[in-house]
Amino acid sequence: MNHSKQYQSLVQGAEIKRLYAVVARQIAAFVAEQDMKPGDRLPSEHKLAQQFNISRATVREAIVALEVFGLVDVPVNCGAVVLDPHASTALDQAGVLSAGVSGEGLEEVARFRILLETDGARQSITNGGVDWESALVAAHHRLAHIEFRMKSGSMTNYELWRQCDWEFHEALVSGCGSALHMKLHKAAFDQFRKVVALEYRAVGFRGLRIIEEHKAILDAALARDSEACAVALERHITAFFNAANRAAPVNRAAVS
């Protein structure tokens, strides 16, 4: 069976959630079949698009997904290079790629983060002193600065935004007084972040809305209003989930 036919039969299958997730699995299978080693170069976007009979945009999304899950590295201005060929096994076993980006898997990750972050924020609002407030304000200032620059849709600041977004949310829960809570929050955030990385590239930066969401979280925290902070956080985190679903809704009609 050639790759194109394989791809067609996959598309017609009932498990299809998103095209790029399917293609990512196909590329991972190709890496395994070819017994590729770390440092080996993947075929060009153009060749992969021809091989799977799909657009280059979909190939690009699939490679981003593989990058997020550690299978490939994409150095600036270079083609994708294999990083860890075994990442695909972990990815398949855990069903991470499909579970992490669509349907209930994504919702579950979002809910877990909401739970840990709203509780951490509540504790911080109750216990945090002026140092907590100062750290939060500083983290928000950096985040707002980078988000203002990203409004134009530029992708170049994405890594910096990722870091600043994490530092803001970390600062928010940093007054909770529990190292264990902080550790679990980071794990939930990182898992959620994988979804966001995919969503970001699928639908672009959410622009003004995300800026307002972060501001609402900050304002509620500084006003020591736990309820408003929890509502703002839930709205912020859920918005990623909704945007990801809007970008590529699950084709429920195809699921028998």
Site residues, Zn ion (CB under 5 A): 165
Say how far apart CA 140 and CA 165 lie, in whole Å.
Answer: 8
Answer for the pair 190, 239: CB distance below 8 angstroms, yes or no. Answer: no
Q: How far is the CB of 53 from Zn ion (least distance, A)?
A: 38
Complex with Zn ion: residue 61 or 165, whichever CB lies closer? 165
Q: Which is nearer to Zn ion, 62 or 172 (CB)?
A: 172
Instruction: Provide the minimum distance between the beta carbon of 126 and Zn ion in the complex, in angstroms, as a whole number.
Output: 22
Say which residue the tokens 């190709």 belong to.
30
* Closest distance to Zn ion from the beta carbon of 6 (Å): 39
Q: How far is the CB of 146 from Zn ion (least distance, A)?
A: 12
Q: What token pair was written down for 160?
A: 């910096």
- The torsion angle over the Cα atoms of residues 198, 243, 248 and 205, rounded to 10 degrees, is -50
Distances in whole angstroms, Cα of residue 101 to Cα of each of 42, 50, 194, 248: 24, 25, 8, 10
Residue with Cβ nearer Zn ion (52 or 168): 168
Nearer to Zn ion, 32 or 182 (CB): 182
Minimum CB distance to Zn ion, residue 152 (Å): 19
Least distance to Zn ion from the beta carbon of 140, Å? Answer: 10
- Nearer to Zn ion by Cβ, of 20 and 240: the residue is 240
* CA distance readout (Å), 43 to 40, 50, 85: 10, 11, 15
How far apart CA 167 and CA 130 sit, in angstroms, is 17
Distance linking the first and last C-alpha atoms of the chain? 25
Q: What is the crossing angle of helices 45-52 and 56-68, to 10°?
A: 110
Residue number with CB closer to Zn ion (165 or 199): 165
Phi, psi of 192 (to 5 degrees): -65, -40
Q: Which residue is nearest to Zn ion (CB)?
A: 165
